Amino acid sequence: MGGGANGEGVFGQSAIAGGMSEAGVAIDGRTVVYGIVGCPVAHSYSPAMQNAALRELGLNGVYVPLRPRPENLAEAVAGLRALGMAGVNVTVPYKESVLPCLDELTETAVLYGAVNTIINREGRLTGHNTDGPGFIKDLREDQRFDPSCGPALVLGAGGSARAVVVALVQAGCPELALVNRNYDRARALAESVRAKTGFCVRVLHWHTGDRCLADFARRAVLMVNCTPLGMSGQNSGAWPLLAGLPGSGQLAYDLVYNPPVTPFMARAAGNGARAANGLGMLLHQGVLSLEAWTGLPAPLAVMRRVLYRQAGVEVY
């Protein structure tokens, strides 16, 4: 898939990386294959997490990383069908470009305009999206936060911001605003959300001198960073928020999880706000994907333990 020698190398390494040989699980002619498609994909925590879950469920399955080149994406997806793989996750940069390669989309995938999960049922490939639902599950179950309790400010206007905004709308958030360096891109996202859901998202300007942004940010109970600012290896840049924000009584949620404590989280904690990174969203989207593939309840505690260990974070 996307190159014979490369595909064999990635597949072979993934079984070891996921701990299959250490667990003494044999891969045989009945082994069901799952995976994650992305470019790059070597950094992904999903293989370790999902392989641990498959072992816990007692399933004869393996989850492998797959890295097709962009020009080979359609062939790679066709290969999933031809090889009888049961399902894959899809990550950057293919969540949108994979759409034309699939036979059908769930309502959730249509609403989000992106796919992070492909389900293979007897050769028919269905695109689904568990990113937004995973985000909401983390808010409700792990952060003990009700998305309907007040206004939310979302920083960014890319694919992850779209998932967060749509998920918040579906979860009953009463008021939403977007702020992005590229104002036109944020406005296009807001219009797309309005067209699909009927919900009007405000679009604000990215600078601390904007009075509308300052006023909204003070009222927000939730701020979500969907930009790469603060990601490991990225310049933290300048935030468009006043110095005391996020502050007391607010939840600052950063989709970035490397480093585990991001500059956005550190800023929030220093101001007395609650802070969380994107590991919980990664966990819950993976849980929902596994359940969609297998029809079985996922072993949440096992997946959490392995994921957080991979990230070098203590499980709370």
Catalytic residue among 55, 67, 95, 128: 95
Contact partners, residue 314, CB within 8 Å, separation at least 6:
308
Q: Are 167 and 136 in contact (CB under 8 A)?
A: yes
Nearest 5°: the CA angle 287, 292, 297 is 55
Tell me if the bond preceding 93 is cis, omega within 30° of 0: yes
Structure-block tokens of residue 209 = 């001198």
95 in catalytic set = yes
Residue 162 has φ and ψ, to the nearest 5°, of -60, -45
Residue pointed to by tokens 């568990």: 130
E strand or H helix at 15, and its extent? helix 4-17
CA 107, distance to chain mean position in Å, is 18
Instruction: Measure the CA dihedral 17/261/250/229, to 10°.
Output: -90
Tokens 């014979």 correspond to 4
Question: Mind giving me the DSSP string for 55-99?
Answer: HHTT--EEEEEE---GGGHHHHHHHHHHHT--EEEE-TT-TTTTG
Give the catalytic positions in this structure: 95
